[in-house]
Amino acid sequence: MIYRMRIYQAVKENLPVFHRFFLERLLPVQLRHGARLVGRWQTQDGRVVVVWEYDDTAAYEDIQRAVRDDPDSLAAQEYRKGLGPLFTEYEETLMASTLPAPEAGGA
């Protein structure tokens, strides 16, 4: 498994709009193409942290390509233009777990 973490520096006054845009417009497209959301958090200082899980790098690349080409994704980006600024910057990284895989059938 690999994980993609993205950390946004959100525009605080637009956080409710940012969250709604994600839930209504972006999340359905990601899920439809096989991305698995581990979690999405808001920090006390106004950052938004999102972690996704993928089987491997090839699966990640395939899913990202499908999401990018999806008409609903393109429509979401058009819609976003009317929302005002949602974040000022973001960083993204791919991660791998350093924990051993759980044993099959373990307690």
CA dist., res. 61 & res. 38, Å (int): 18
How do the domains of the chain map onto residue ranges?
2-95
Provide the total of helices (H) and of strands (E) in the chain, helices listed first: 4, 4
What top-level class would CATH report for the domain 2-95?
Answer: alpha beta
* Mean local confidence (pLDDT), 74-79: 95
Q: How many CA atoms lie within 13 A of 66 on its CB side?
A: 14
In this predicted structure, what is the pLDDT of residue 103?
77
- The pLDDT tens digits for 13-32 are 999 999 999 999 999 999 99
In this predicted structure, what is the pLDDT of residue 26?
96
Q: Does pTM top 0.75 for this prediction?
A: yes
- The pLDDT tens digits for 28-76 are 999 999 999 999 999 999 999 999 999 999 999 999 999 999 999 999 9
Judged against a pLDDT cut of 90, whether residue 104 lies above it is answered with no
